[in-house]
Structure 1
Amino acid sequence: MKLYEQGVYLLRGTELVANGPQAQDEIRQKTGQEVTKEEAAKQTMAYGILESHNTSGNMQNLQIKFDKLTSHDITYVGIIQTARASGLEKFPIPYVLTNCHNSLCAVGGTINEDDHMFGLTCAKKYGGIYVPPHQAVIHQFAREMLAGGGKMILGSDSHTRYGALGTMAMGEGGPELVKQLLNKTYDIAMPGVVGVYLTGSPMKGVGPQDIALAIIGEVFDKGYVKNKVMEFVGPGVANLSVDYRIGVDVMTTETTCLSSIWRTDDKVREFYEIHGRTEDFAELNPGQVAYYDGMIEIDLSQIKPMIAMPFHPSNTYTIEELNANLMDILDDCEKRAKVSLDGQVDFTLKDKVRNGRLYVDQGIIAGCAGGGFENITDAADILRGASIGPDEFTLSVYPASTPIYMELVKNGCVADLMETGAIVKTAFCGPCFGAGDTPSNNGFSIRHSTRNFPNREGSKLQNGQISSVALMDARSIAATAANKGYLTAATDMDVNYTKPKYYFDKNIYANRVFDSKGVADPNEEIKFGPNIKDWPAMSPLPENLFLKVVSEIHDPVTTTDELIPSGETSSYRSNPLGLAEFTLSRKDPEYVGRAKEIQKAQKALEAGECAGQAVPELREIVHTVKKTFPDVNHDNFGVGSTIFAVKPGDGSAREQAASCQKVLGGWANIANEYATKRYRSNLINWGMLPFLIPAGDLPFKNGDYLFVPAIRQAIIDKTKEIQAYVVKDGQMQPFTLQLGALTDDERDIILKGCLINYYRG
């Protein structure tokens, strides 16, 4: 794998020319064309799709309107509630509400199924589509029923990626979907486009997760594709089945790219034909001379079976390398654990080494990444006639949709898998985010799913419970299962892959999915369960701001799972205050109490009372500030909390990572950088200031008070650097905060306190 250090031209889809002094001469010799870099940049597939969806008339500052929207049952209640509070009357474009996260309805009484009834009645009232629990995971339904060549889809799940089908899809926080529901736009600067140039064919036994992990391991730490579009090109694309391409594509989220797109061909046309949607196919290719801001060159034949060890998809090794350097790599995992787990529990995988080999407790093939037809049929071929054994090791397989499940039943793969001792379950995302198949304490799970962040498999560090996940391809998971839990690469197995043909049964969805066909019924009464609550009132940004630092996180990356844990807490996603009680609960259990304590001051101000009376320690802070800023008083300041994290926001698109801080009185985050655009957007949409400070010495610590004078005017004036002060021991120590780029609308949202206030006027 090669990463180019400069831009690259792609000629006729088959030849690369690195940008440099001789590039134009070489292009002229090989193509007979004179083309500028600016003209060639318009020849990417990404540029063409973005241009066709841009409403601004300015390709440097995009205002995108999407063709379709999709959400699942962790996010759609909050999105619709926000949109309703902002004036929603009808879904203006197709909006699909799937139910694949809170599907089990096993925790929290009736509240999960109450959310589903809310979703069904909203689909009827506002003209949407409702996919009942266990029918399909969100992304598989979108592939089967929504994707279209040259189209754009926005989803409230970070793995909204349908590039292999010619659809540019993006995962964002819920407020960005609210904007689309209110006929507003998705506003971004024109993203960079990085090519992924594929050659060769994968070796037998290497699957899409192996390719994906190899890419993630190479680019994540470098930030090579951060907030850019990955465009898959080159002759190697034709050597991959569509299922295979989908399996690579969905994992591009873990590179922190913005979106993805692939060249399409007759194999993609056949996918649409199988699903009865031939008219949605469009052939996509870059132009004769296309310019990319970067290029990842991959010879598929050189990729070996991979494993991403705990606690990140970028912590990658070949399985061969792991087996050859087992104890050294396990040492490295222990060092990473001390950082990721803050020393809360003792962690080791060395006790999994038996007779020099790594033993695994659990295998999972599931969800939008692992649950595809080809992944499971190949796994069945590896396991046919084998046994997973009667020891600790277990294997669960979750087909990504009921149509896939049905075909696996018809062709005998389900019987083959179950005979080995594996369990085949319904379409459900639970194993991916800690709501199903949590291993035992100190258990080690290998999964063909999307993430292996700490806590995401269901651990509760505060209770002393820890397990861990490694990511692998379904084929090597099956090979490990065939060897009764001993880690094995699929390339070590001599297997005849039967590659059965897939047949899609459209009647499964026709008989069960509610589709309004875009017709709203305003007389439909929405069903509200007792846990579905409205958003609390939120104040506009004050003239001056007192912030108390209530959490300080120095991990290299802080994931959204650590900001608001997934798993059983997801049952409370429809109750903003109820869910907020879990904020940072597995990372900093003291956070909620500290945030609520300082929030008392803001609530006092809003009630016309004295902030210092509600929070006595604030009196000295205000007194110190008034020595320098005598005009500061209860009529022109606000009080709230902030957290510091080095690089927050990797992972899920869930808006609750920000909104939970907001409803607890959070006014800001302070970071060295933000891991993803979507998390920063979530902060802004909930009226929180996305401050930045340079890496290095931190001018404050947990528990300190900060004062940001004239913050409201600074937002209005588009000030990029803002003077702030640490207020401590009767002194004010100045330091500088930065805000980064903000659109005019984003500034207005912050000024008004949140997106709901912005749309209310």
Structure 2
Amino acid sequence: MKLHETGAYLVNGCTVVEDNSEASAAIASMTGTAVSKEEAAKNTIAYGILKDHNTSGSMEKLKIKFDKLTSHDITYVGIIQTARASGLEKFPIPYVLTNCHNSLCAVGGTINEDDHMFGLTCAKKYGGIYVPPHQAVIHQFAREMLAGGGKMILGSDSHTRYGALGTMAMGEGGPELVKQLLEQTYDINMPGVVAVYLTGEPVKGVGPQDIALAIIGEVFANGYVKNKVMEFVGPGVANLSVDYRIGVDVMTTETTCLSSIWATDEKVKEFYDIHGRVEEYKELNPGQVAYYDGMIEIDLSTIRPMIAMPFHPSNTYTIEELNANLMDILDDCEKKAQVSFNGAVDLNLKDKVRNGKLYVDQGIIAGCAGGGFENICDAADILAGSSIGPDEFTLSVYPASTPIYMELVKNGAVAKLMETGAIVKTAFCGPCFGAGDTPANNAFSIRHSTRNFPNREGSKVQNGQIASVALMDARSIAATAANKGYLTAATDVDVNFSKPKYFFDKTIYENRVFDSHGVADPSVEIQMGPNIKDWPKMVALTDNLILKVVSEIHDPVTTTDELIPSGETSSYRSNPLGLAEFTLSRKDPAYVGRAKEVQKAEAAREAGEEPYAVLPELKAAVDAIRTQFPDINEENTGIGSTIFAVKPGDGSAREQAASCQKVLGGWANIANEYATKRYRSNLINWGMLPFIIKEGELPFANGDYLFVPEIRKAVEEKAPEVKAYAVKDGQLTEFSLTLGDLTDEEREIIRKGCLINYNRK
């Protein structure tokens, strides 16, 4: 795999020309015409789709309107509640509400079916589409029923990726969907576009997850594609089935790219035809000369079965490399666990080595990444006639949709799997985020799913339980299962893949999915449950801010799972106050209590009462501040909390990673950088200041107070730098913060306190 250090041109879709002083002459000799870099940049597939959806009139500052929206049952309640508070009357574009996360309807102490009935009645009232539990995971339904060539889809799940079908899709926090529901726009600067130039053909036994993990391992740490669009091109694309392309594409989220798009061909046309939507096919290719801001060249034939060890999809090795250096790599994972869990529990992966081989406790093939038809068929072929054994090892398989499940039943793949001892279950995202198949304490699970963050599998460090996940392709998981739990690469087994043809039957959807066809019925009464709560009132940004640092995280990256845990907490996603109780619970259990203490002072201030009465320590900080800023008072100076993290926000798009902090009185994050655009957008949409501080400059610690004078003015006047002061021992130490690039709308959202206030009628 080669990452170009500069940009590169692609000529006639097949010739790569490095961006250097000789590029223009070389291109002219091949094409007979000279093309400027600026013109060639307009010839990417990504540029054309963005141009078609941009409403700003400027291709530097984009204002995008999407064709369709999609959400699942962890996010759609909050989104619709936010939009309703702003006067929502009708879904202006198709909006699909799927139910694939809270599918188990009594988890965590609440009845999740209340959320589902909320979704169904909202689909009827506002003119949406409702997919009942167990019918399909969100992204598979979108592939089967929503995607279209040249279209754009916005989803409130981070793995909203349908580029292999010619659809540019993005996963963002709920407020960005609210904007679309209110007929506003998705505002971004024109992103860079990085080509992924594919040649060759995968060797037998190598699956899409192997290709994806190889890419993630190369580009995550160096930020090569961060907030850019990955455009898959080159002759190797034609050597991949569409199901295979989808399996690679869905994992692009883990690179921190903004979105993805692929060149399309007759195989994609056939996919649409199989699904009864051939009219949605559109041929997409870069122009004769296309310029890319970067290029990743991959010879598919060189990729070997991969494994992403705990605790990140970028912690990658070939399975061969792992087996050759087993004890060293396991020791490294154990040391990372000590850092991630602050020594609270011990992870003993080296105990999994038996007779020089790594024994695995659990295998999972599931969800939007693993539950595809070809993945499961190939896994069934590898396992045919085998037994997974009667010991600790278990294998669960979750087809990504009921149509896929039904076809697997018809062609015998389900029977092949079940006779080995594997369990085949309904479409459900639970294993991917900790709400299904949680392993035993100290167990090691291999999964064809999307993430393996700490606790992502559902273990609870606060209760002394720890488990861990490695990501692998379905084929190598099946090979491991056939070897009764001993880690095995699929290239090490002898198998003839049957490659059965896929037949899609949409009758199930016609019988069970509610589709309003865009017709709203205002007479429908929304069905509310006792755990569905409105967002609490949020105040506008004050002239000045006093912030207490209530958590300090120095991990290289902080995931959204660490900011607000997944798993059982999902039962409270419709209850902002209930969910907020879990904020940072697995990373900094004292955070909630600290934040609430500060919040009491702000509540007193807003009520016109004395804040020092509920937070006595605040008086000393205020007295120190008044030595230099005597004019601050309870009317012009708000009181809130903040956290510092080196690089927060990797992973899920869930807005609650930010909104829970806001609900607890958070007014800012301070970071060296933000891991993803979507997390930073979530902060902004909840009225929180996305401060940046230079690496190595940290004049405060957890528990310190900070003073930010004239912050409202700095936001309004687009100040390039924000002065702040650390308050300690009666002294003020000045330091500088920045806010990064903010649109005028984002500045107004922050000024008004949140997106709800910005839109409230």
Give the TM bin, normalised by the shorter chain.
over 0.9
Give the residue type in structure 2 aligned to 1:400.
A
Deviations 1:707-744 (A, max 9, x none): 00010011111012111001111110111111100000
Q: Distance in 1 between matches of 2:7 and 2:198?
A: 17
Q: Distance in 2 between matches of 1:52 and 1:216?
A: 29
Give the residue type in structure 2 aligned to 1:126.
Y
> Shift of the alpha carbon at 1:591?
0.3
Deviations 1:489-518 (A, max 9, x none): 000001000000000011010000000000
Q: 2:584 is matched with which residue?
A: 584
Does the residue aligned with 2:735 lie in a helix, a strand or coil? Answer: strand
Deviations 1:597-656 (A, max 9, x none): 000111001101111122111111111111100111111100000000000000000000
Q: 1:230 is matched with which residue?
A: 230
> Any conservation in 2 of the 1:111–1:530 contact (CA below 8 Å)?
no
Deviations 1:91-139 (A, max 9, x none): 0000000000000113145530000000000000000000000000000
Q: 1:94 is matched with which residue?
A: 94
Q: 1:106 is matched with which residue?
A: 106
Query: Is residue 194 of structure 2 the alignment partner of residue 194 of structure 1?
Result: yes
Q: Distance in 2 between matches of 1:262 and 1:194?
A: 12
Query: Is residue 733 of structure 2 the alignment partner of residue 727 of structure 1?
Result: no
Query: Is residue 688 of structure 2 the alignment partner of residue 688 of structure 1?
Result: yes
Give the residue type in structure 2 aligned to 1:128.
G
Query: Runs (4+) of structure 1 moved beyond 3 Å?
Result: none
Does the residue aligned with 1:420 lie in a helix, a strand or coil? Answer: coil
Q: 1:8 is matched with which residue?
A: 8
If the length of structure 2 is used for normalisation, what is the TM-score? 1.00
Does the residue aligned with 2:517 lie in a helix, a strand or coil? Answer: coil
Q: 1:675 is matched with which residue?
A: 675
Query: Is residue 256 of structure 2 the alignment partner of residue 256 of structure 1?
Result: yes
Q: How does 1:594-609 map to 2 (within 5 A)?
A: 594-609=594-609
Give the residue type in structure 1 aligned to 2:147.
A
Q: Distance in 1 between matches of 2:230 and 2:552?
A: 34
692-701 or 150-159: bigger deviation: 692-701
Give the residue type in structure 2 aligned to 1:687.
G
Give the residue type in structure 2 aligned to 1:579.
L
301-310 or 335-344: bigger deviation: 335-344
Q: Distance in 2 between matches of 1:729 and 1:699?
A: 13
Q: How does 1:245-644 map to 2 (within 5 A)?
A: 245-644=245-644
Query: Is residue 85 of structure 2 the alignment partner of residue 82 of structure 1?
Result: no
> Shift of the alpha carbon at 1:348?
2.2
Q: Distance in 2 between matches of 1:327 and 1:148?
A: 47
Q: Distance in 1 between matches of 2:608 and 2:287?
A: 63
Does the residue aligned with 1:735 lie in a helix, a strand or coil? Answer: strand
Q: Distance in 1 between matches of 2:237 and 2:158?
A: 24
> Any conservation in 1 of the 2:110–2:571 contact (CA below 8 Å)?
no
Give the residue type in structure 2 aligned to 1:643.
I
Give the residue type in structure 2 aligned to 1:646.
V
Q: 2:154 is matched with which residue?
A: 154
Give the residue type in structure 1 aligned to 2:757.
N
Does the residue aligned with 1:541 lie in a helix, a strand or coil? Answer: coil
Q: How does 1:693-708 map to 2 (within 5 A)?
A: 693-708=693-708
> Any conservation in 2 of the 1:598–1:615 contact (CA below 8 Å)?
yes
> Any conservation in 2 of the 1:196–1:298 contact (CA below 8 Å)?
yes
Q: Distance in 2 between matches of 1:506 and 1:456?
A: 33
> Any conservation in 1 of the 2:109–2:571 contact (CA below 8 Å)?
no
Deviations 1:193-216 (A, max 9, x none): 000000000000000000000000
Give the residue type in structure 1 aligned to 2:684.
I
Give the residue type in structure 2 aligned to 1:665.
G
> Shift of the alpha carbon at 1:349?
0.6
Unaligned runs of 5+ in 1: none
Give the residue type in structure 1 aligned to 2:71.
S
Give the residue type in structure 1 aligned to 2:593.
G
Give the residue type in structure 1 aligned to 2:151.
K
Q: 1:21 is matched with which residue?
A: 21
132-141 or 337-346: bigger deviation: 337-346
Give the residue type in structure 2 aligned to 1:365.
I
> Shift of the alpha carbon at 1:335?
2.0
Give the residue type in structure 2 aligned to 1:708.
V
Q: 1:69 is matched with which residue?
A: 69
Give the residue type in structure 1 aligned to 2:93.
I
Q: 1:650 is matched with which residue?
A: 650
Give the residue type in structure 2 aligned to 1:282.
K
Q: Distance in 2 between matches of 1:49 and 1:714?
A: 35
Q: Distance in 2 between matches of 1:603 and 1:106?
A: 34
710-719 or 130-139: bigger deviation: 710-719
> Shift of the alpha carbon at 1:746?
0.3
Q: 1:709 is matched with which residue?
A: 709
Q: Distance in 2 between matches of 1:133 and 1:337?
A: 35
> Any conservation in 2 of the 1:724–1:734 contact (CA below 8 Å)?
yes
Q: Distance in 2 between matches of 1:12 and 1:494?
A: 39
> Any conservation in 1 of the 2:175–2:682 contact (CA below 8 Å)?
yes
Q: 2:48 is matched with which residue?
A: 48
Give the residue type in structure 1 aligned to 2:609.
E
Q: How does 1:106-125 map to 2 (within 5 A)?
A: 106-109=106-109, 111-125=111-125
Give the residue type in structure 1 aligned to 2:32.
G
366-375 or 28-37: bigger deviation: 28-37
Q: Distance in 1 between matches of 2:721 and 2:111?
A: 45
Q: Distance in 2 between matches of 1:89 and 1:726?
A: 46
Q: Distance in 1 between matches of 2:547 and 2:635?
A: 16
> Any conservation in 2 of the 1:551–1:588 contact (CA below 8 Å)?
yes
Q: 1:745 is matched with which residue?
A: 745
Q: Distance in 2 between matches of 1:65 and 1:635?
A: 39
Q: Distance in 2 between matches of 1:731 and 1:111?
A: 51
Q: 1:136 is matched with which residue?
A: 136
The CA RMSD over aligned residues, in Å, is 0.6
Q: Distance in 2 between matches of 1:10 and 1:335?
A: 43
Does the residue aligned with 2:627 lie in a helix, a strand or coil? Answer: helix
Give the residue type in structure 2 aligned to 1:24.
S
Give the residue type in structure 1 aligned to 2:573.
R
Deviations 1:526-550 (A, max 9, x none): 0000000000000000001000000
Q: Distance in 2 between matches of 1:721 and 1:432?
A: 40
> Any conservation in 2 of the 1:72–1:98 contact (CA below 8 Å)?
yes
Does the residue aligned with 1:511 lie in a helix, a strand or coil? Answer: helix
Give the residue type in structure 1 aligned to 2:478.
A
Q: Distance in 1 between matches of 2:212 and 2:108?
A: 36
Does the residue aligned with 1:392 lie in a helix, a strand or coil? Answer: coil
130-139 or 333-342: bigger deviation: 333-342
> Any conservation in 1 of the 2:249–2:260 contact (CA below 8 Å)?
yes
> Any conservation in 2 of the 1:228–1:259 contact (CA below 8 Å)?
yes
If the length of structure 1 is used for normalisation, what is the TM-score? 1.00
Does the residue aligned with 1:428 lie in a helix, a strand or coil? Answer: coil
Q: Distance in 2 between matches of 1:195 and 1:552?
A: 37
Q: Distance in 2 between matches of 1:730 and 1:373?
A: 65
Percent identity, aligned pairs only, is: 83
> Any conservation in 1 of the 2:108–2:569 contact (CA below 8 Å)?
no
Unaligned runs of 5+ in 2: none
> Any conservation in 2 of the 1:648–1:673 contact (CA below 8 Å)?
yes
> Any conservation in 2 of the 1:195–1:233 contact (CA below 8 Å)?
yes
